[in-house]
Amino acid sequence: MDIFNLKNPNQIINSIRKTEKVIQAIPRLRKLIADISALVLPRARVGVDKDVDQVELIIPTLKKSFKDLDELEAMKGLRRKMTEMLELEKECTNFEIVRGT
């Protein structure tokens, strides 16, 4: 929006109101970032150079965590399937399945 070519001065007022809402949201966004950082970063800091910006670690760490959870679910599904295929009475650990008990 070019301020010098305004046909309606109300556009300035609307823009100021929108800006005010954004500014009011900043403390909530800061708290959200702090809460996410406190939850995620203890896992992300392992083996990372101290100079790396902590916020930059959040997304890669979350991506890795979700990938790990997906792999865990796949392994659980495989275990259930093997338990069914081997007609075992209970869901066994991987070791028990390999051992044949």
The string of DSSP codes covering the chain is --GGG-S-THHHHHHHHHHHHHHHHHHHHHHHHHHHHHHHHHHHTTT--TTS-THHHHHHHHHHHHHHHHHHHHHHHHHHHHHHHTT-SSPPPHHHHHHT-
Q: What are the pLDDT digits (tens) for 41-69?
A: 776 555 556 656 777 888 888 898 899 99
Q: How confident is the model at residue 24 (pLDDT cuts 50, 70, 90)?
A: very high
pLDDT band per the 50, 70, 90 thresholds, residue 25: very high
* Predicted pLDDT of residue 3: 58
Q: How distant is the alpha carbon of residue 96 from its chain centre?
A: 34
Question: In the chain, pLDDT over 90 holds for what percent of residues?
Answer: 19
Read off the pTM.
Answer: 0.51
* Residue boundaries of the structural domains of the chain: 3-99
- Is the predicted pLDDT of residue 77 greater than 60, yes or no? yes
